[in-house]
């Protein structure tokens, strides 16, 4: 049975912006839209795994757009997710370079997605590179940065579950980890440029 | 670093952890130093990239949980689906059977059932022509009017002449007289030890009744043949044939 935690699009958008309610909101999106969006993938040359992968990307992209206030609400969430799903999948098909017919579909599909969203999706590959760079930070760094920048925990709250002596040690660890990430970006000018184009869109 | 602005201070600036005056100082220094600008930009990118990483991790975890729950949970509606499908198929089969039954019932008549089972009897040729009666010889030649003529002249001298006459009547479409001749053969057999063409006479008597429209008389004979596995014509009288006969009898009794 689908739950009804978020009776309106506005309630769901508020939850997506709030990190504390994000889990519930993501689950809700899965329950409401996974099956329907999967059908589109499976009916257009994709398999079950493709459908799962694309849906994950749809949700990640949607959350980021919402957090950056780039989802203007011109359409319903459902319609917007369908557009993202179609666009990401057609983009993937194009990447796989399977058939000319699909290129045509891609062009048609692209016209239907808001232009700025297209730009957002175009940066997906750069984001995937970022994921690989972040993996190089190590688990302890990722844990501290997640707590700071994602879970919105205070330093005092972090001390409850992080293996550090005091608040200053936690702060120093954060500085050290973020600097390390900055250095990794500095060492890869191509990735930095790609990211720059994404961030210029985001700002 | 070209001045006293360290990366830690830049991070504090990005995280809004600096007091306003220090914040203004950092902004002024960044504006004046391209190297600081680039570093601040990279740190901002690092933060945003990390946020993307965090969202992706969270979605990935929920995705795994969601898919696992789906795989473990019994598929809702599966039993209902199969029950519905089975009932639908059963209903379709039932409707088809009813339609077929109605069609069969409406098409049932004596001629149709008779034609489905009647086959003209072929007399064996083992016996030499010299031993055969005139009637038998006429039958072997296929001269049915001749057989009937000889039979009606009371020239039936051989034990099987009633039976052959019955066959000749049937072949010429006179079912009533055919039935009488077959019945005469069976009566004659009562006094004989060898009982020539007994099974044949029974079967064709029933067919003659059927052809004559006397289904109620034909049915008991066919039922008897069906009950006797040793009867020569047992395999000709199936359960379905009996069912059709019963339907026909019911139809005629209305």
pLDDT of amino acid A7: 83
CA distance B29 to chain A (A): 19
Closest partner CB to A130 (pick from B41, B52, B57): B52
Task: Say whether residue B176 is in contact with chain A using an 8 A CB cutoff.
Answer: no
pLDDT of amino acid A201: 45
Q: Residues of A with CB below 8 A from B75's CB? A: none
pLDDT of amino acid A98: 52
CA distance B15 to chain A (A): 9
Taking an 8 Å cut-off on Cβ atoms, the answer to whether A185 and B41 are in contact is no
pLDDT of amino acid A193: 79
pLDDT of amino acid B251: 82
The model's pLDDT over A41-77, given as tens digits with 9 standing for 90+, comes to 999 989 999 999 999 999 998 998 898 888 887 889 9
pLDDT of amino acid B102: 85
Task: Say whether residue A25 is in contact with chain B using an 8 A CB cutoff.
Answer: no
At residue A135 the predicted structure's pLDDT band, cuts being 50, 70 and 90, is confident
The model's pLDDT over A153-171, given as tens digits with 9 standing for 90+, comes to 888 888 888 888 888 999 8
Taking an 8 Å cut-off on Cβ atoms, the answer to whether B59 and A64 are in contact is no
The model's pLDDT over B19-32, given as tens digits with 9 standing for 90+, comes to 999 999 999 999 99
Task: Say whether residue A153 is in contact with chain B using an 8 A CB cutoff.
Answer: no
Task: Say whether residue B67 is in contact with chain A using an 8 A CB cutoff.
Answer: yes
Mean pLDDT, to the nearest integer, of B96-124? 86
pLDDT of amino acid A79: 92
The model's pLDDT over A73-132, given as tens digits with 9 standing for 90+, comes to 788 999 999 999 999 898 888 877 655 554 555 555 554 555 455 555 556 666 677 778
pLDDT of amino acid B46: 86
Look at A29 and A113; give whichever has higher pLDDT.
A29
At residue A2 the predicted structure's pLDDT band, cuts being 50, 70 and 90, is very low
Task: Say whether residue A146 is in contact with chain B using an 8 A CB cutoff.
Answer: yes
Taking an 8 Å cut-off on Cβ atoms, the answer to whether A56 and B60 are in contact is yes
* Mean per-residue pLDDT over chain B, rounded: 86
Q: Residue A176 pLDDT > 70, yes or no?
A: yes
Mean pLDDT, to the nearest integer, of B28-37? 93
Size of interface A-B (CB pairs under 8 A): 100
Q: Is the torsion defined by CA of A197, A198, B1, B2 positive or negative?
A: positive
Closest CA to A119 of A53, A187, A70, A166: A70
Q: Residues of B with CB below 8 A from A197's CB? A: none
Q: What is the DSSP string of chain B?
A: --SS--HHHHHHHHTT-S-HHHHHHHHHHHHH-HHHHHHHHHHHHHHHHHHHHHHHHHHHHHHHHHHHHHHHSPPTTHHHHHHHHHHHHHHHHHHHHHHHHHHHHHH--HHHHHHHH-------S-S-TTTS-HHHHHHHHT-HHHHHHHHHTT---STTHHHHHHHHHHHTT-HHHHHHHHHHHHHHHTT-SS-TTHHHHHHHHHHHHHHTT-HHHHHHHHHHHHH-TTSTTGGGS-HHHHHHHHHHHHHHH-
- ipTM value of the model? 0.79
The model's pLDDT over B142-186, given as tens digits with 9 standing for 90+, comes to 899 999 998 888 755 677 889 999 999 999 999 999 999 999 989
At residue B1 the predicted structure's pLDDT band, cuts being 50, 70 and 90, is very low
Q: Residues of B with CB below 8 A from A186's CB? A: 42
pTM passes above 0.90: no
Q: Residue B10 pLDDT > 90, yes or no?
A: yes
CA distance A146 to chain B (A): 7
At residue A1 the predicted structure's pLDDT band, cuts being 50, 70 and 90, is very low
Task: Say whether residue A176 is in contact with chain B using an 8 A CB cutoff.
Answer: no
pLDDT of amino acid A78: 92
Q: Residue B207 pLDDT > 90, yes or no?
A: yes
The model's pLDDT over A137-151, given as tens digits with 9 standing for 90+, comes to 888 898 888 888 877
């Amino acid at each position: 049975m689908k739950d009804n935690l978020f009776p309106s699009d506005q309630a769901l958008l508020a939850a997506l912006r709030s990190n504390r309610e994000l889990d519930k909101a993501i689950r809700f999106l899965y329950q409401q839209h996974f099956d329907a969006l999967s059908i589109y993938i499976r009916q257009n040359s994709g398999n079950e795994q493709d459908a799962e992968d694309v849906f994950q990307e749809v949700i990640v992209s949607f959350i980021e757009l919402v957090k950056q206030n780039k989802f203007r609400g011109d359409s319903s969430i459902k319609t917007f997710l369908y557009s993202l799903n179609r666009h990401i999948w057609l983009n993937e098909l194009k990447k796989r370079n399977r058939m000319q017919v699909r290129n045509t579909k891609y062009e048609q599909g692209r016209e239907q997605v808001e232009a700025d969203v297209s730009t957002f999706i175009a940066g997906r590959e750069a984001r995937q590179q970022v994921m690989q760079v972040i993996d190089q930070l190590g688990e302890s760094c990722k844990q501290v940065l997640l707590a700071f920048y994602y879970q919105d925990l205070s330093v005092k709250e972090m001390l409850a579950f992080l293996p550090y002596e005091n608040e200053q040690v936690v702060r120093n660890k954060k500085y050290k980890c973020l600097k390390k990430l900055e250095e990794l970006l500095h060492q890869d000018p191509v990735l930095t440029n790609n990211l720059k184009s994404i961030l210029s869109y985001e700002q | 670093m070209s001045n006293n602005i360290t990366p830690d201070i830049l991070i504090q600036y990005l995280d809004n952890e600096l007091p306003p005056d220090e914040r203004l100082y950092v902004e002024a220094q960044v504006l004046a130093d391209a190297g600081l600008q680039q570093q601040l930009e990279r740190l901002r990118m690092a933060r945003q990239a990390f946020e993307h990483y965090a969202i992706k991790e969270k979605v990935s975890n929920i995705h795994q949980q969601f898919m696992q729950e789906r795989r473990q949970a019994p598929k809702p509606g599966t039993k209902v689906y199969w029950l519905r499908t089975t009932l639908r198929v059963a209903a379709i089969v039932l409707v088809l059977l009813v339609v077929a039954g109605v069609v069969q019932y409406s098409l049932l008549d004596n001629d149709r059932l008779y034609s489905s089972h009647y086959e003209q009897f072929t007399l064996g040729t083992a016996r030499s022509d010299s031993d055969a009666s005139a009637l038998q010889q006429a039958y072997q030649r296929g001269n049915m009017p001749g057989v009937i003529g000889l039979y009606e002249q009371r020239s039936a001298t051989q034990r099987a002449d009633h039976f052959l006459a019955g066959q000749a009547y049937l072949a010429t479409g006179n079912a009533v007289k055919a039935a009488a001749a077959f019945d005469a053969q069976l009566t004659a057999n009562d006094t004989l030890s060898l009982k020539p063409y007994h099974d044949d006479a029974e079967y064709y008597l029933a067919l003659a009744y059927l052809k004559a429209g006397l289904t109620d008389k034909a049915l008991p004979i066919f039922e008897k043949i069906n009950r006797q596995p040793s009867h020569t014509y047992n395999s000709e009288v199936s359960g379905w044939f009996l069912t059709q006969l019963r339907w026909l009898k019911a139809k005629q009794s209305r």
